[in-house]
Amino acid sequence: MKIVGVETHVCHARMRNWVFVKVLTDQDGLYGWGEATLEWHTRAVVAAIEDLAPLLVGEDPTRVEHLWQMMYRQHFWHGHGIVRSTAMSGVDLALWDILGKVTGLPCSKLWGGPVRDYVRTYCHLGGGRLEDFYETAADDARRFADLARQAVADGFTAFKSMAVPPTMALEGLKPIRAAEAAVAAMREAVGDSIDIMVDCHARPSPAMGLQFAKALEPYGLYFFEEPCWPESIEGLAAIARAVSTPIATGERMTHLAAFRDLFAAGGCAVCQLDLTHCGGFTEAKRIAALAEAYRIALAPHNPQGPVSTAASLEFGFSQPSYVICETVHNDVPWRQDVVSEGFVVEKEGRIVRPNQRPGLGIEINEAEVRKHPFQQEIPQRVFYSDGSVGDW
């Protein structure tokens, strides 16, 4: 069996262009789907996949680790820059999809699963609708409470919010109080049996992240995400030591050694590896094994498209330390039109039972994808009050 082509299918989904990767084989009807979505870098990723294709065409698609090694180590430059690691991840997911189809097994079964009866999912406030999740002002506590109630009404037992506003490297009490009021309003709205997460988007400096973490500690967050730049492992570790709230990070890390440094420093209690950025399933399995040694929970980052979600779920059914899967369901109204899924989301509790189909268990509707061709992503920019550049 041989790989005969690697295609990319770009689908514009408002904030992101979903980059679906299709690896074709010389066997009739046998191909695999992956995803390599990297917002604001769509054309670069598509081109990077083109650059990888000569390493793949003519090779046996079932030698997944061998092909991963080629993609990562050949061409001289190791494949851990974000563009190439995303491109590689998309191909790697598609190769495992092919292997699942060849063996007739869901991916999770290839790795000894399922290890659980269901995977729990959580949503973004507003279900991933750009305006609700990213643009609700941190000082609008009432809106946070309304969106929190809506998430619970939609069946979720856990949700994530962006209740921490952008701050300069040092600011006073006002943003801290705003975040505190927003989280207090959400807790008041949904009670103690619902899990609330706050994502700082790595906006704060370590000093500000520590203040936010301390202020929000009494509200019992399920986890507190990216409280400072991921490059500042010492900052993450200092915040993690200072509060009982579990610190989550890892969505921007692209290779095993980066996770090794993070874990060894005590930088997180929750590892948010992203299957579409971290090197695909092949590298994710190594990262998960390393996390296991530290008893660090896995909660993959997954705000992307439907192949990414299927991959995150398959991974969850194979990993004992996996606790919850990030999902979006309301980013575009036609989300379900582009995919047929092998798993079912139970509305009550938003849990997912194991996929029974081979591989990732999905089929992408290419005709639907073609209805949403590439468009430049909506710009998201942050400036502080003095006009200097902030982090989105």
Residue numbers of the site for Mg ion (CB under 5 A)?
199
Q: Which of 277, 300, 282 is nearest to 81 (CA)?
A: 277
Of the pair 71, 248, the CB lying nearest Mg ion is at 248
Token reading at 158: 């856990």
Of the pair 134, 343, the CB lying nearest Mg ion is at 134
CB of 248 to Mg ion, least distance (A): 8
Tally of CA atoms within 13 A in the half-sphere of 116 that contains its CB: 18
How many residues can be counted in the chain? 392
CB of 202 to Mg ion, least distance (A): 8
Check: CB of residue 61 under 8 Å from CB of residue 26.
no
CB of 391 to Mg ion, least distance (A): 12
Cβ-based neighbour number of residue 219 at 10 Å: 19
Check: CB of residue 213 under 8 Å from CB of residue 239.
yes
Check: CB of residue 284 under 8 Å from CB of residue 97.
no
CA gyration radius for the chain? Answer: 20
Nearby residues of 132 by Cβ (< 8 Å), 6 or more positions away: 124, 125, 126, 147
CB of 15 to Mg ion, least distance (A): 14
31-35: strand order across its sheet? 3-13, 16-25, 31-35
CB of 212 to Mg ion, least distance (A): 15
Token reading at 37: 């979505």
Of the pair 10, 200, the CB lying nearest Mg ion is at 200
Choose the catalytic residue: 201, 255, 329, 372.
201
Q: Which of 28, 102, 95 is nearest to 63 (CA)?
A: 95
Of the pair 195, 199, the CB lying nearest Mg ion is at 199
CB of 83 to Mg ion, least distance (A): 19
Of the pair 35, 199, the CB lying nearest Mg ion is at 199
Token reading at 49: 């996949």
Of the pair 92, 225, the CB lying nearest Mg ion is at 225
Does the active-site annotation cover 301? yes
Of the pair 77, 392, the CB lying nearest Mg ion is at 392
Does the active-site annotation cover 12? no
| H helix runs in the chain, sequence order | 42-56, 64-73, 82-103, 107-110, 130-135, 141-153, 173-190, 206-216, 233-242, 256-264, 280-294, 306-316, 366-370
Residue of minimal CB distance from Mg ion? 199
Choose the catalytic residue: 9, 41, 124, 301.
301
Secondary-structure breakdown of the chain: helix, strand, coil percentages, each rounded to the nearest 5: 40, 15, 40
CB of 283 to Mg ion, least distance (A): 19
Q: Which residues are catalytic?
A: 201, 301
